[in-house]
Amino acid sequence: MRCGLSGETRPTNGDLGTGLSAGMPFRYARCVGSRRPSAPVLVVEDNAETRDVLRMLLEINGYAVEMARDGSEAIEYLRAGYPACLIILDLRMPIMDGWILLRVLQADPYLAEIPAIAFSAFIEGELPGTIATVRKASVNPDVFLGLIERACIQDGPPEQ
Q: pLDDT of 64-108, one tens digit each?
A: 999 999 999 999 999 999 999 999 998 888 898 888 999 999 999
Portion of the chain with pLDDT greater than 90, in percent: 36
Burial of 64 (0-12, 13-18, 19+ CB in 10 A): middle
Say if 3 falls within a structural domain.
Answer: no
pLDDT in tens, 96-140: 888 899 999 999 998 999 999 988 887 776 778 888 888 888 888
Say if 2 falls within a structural domain.
Answer: no
The mean pLDDT of 58-62, rounded to a whole number, is 90
Number of domains in the chain: 1
Range of the domain at 54: 35-152
Per the confidence metrics, is the pTM higher than 0.75? no
How would residue 141 be classed by pLDDT, with cut points 50, 70 and 90? confident
- Residue 148's CATH number: 3.40.50.2300
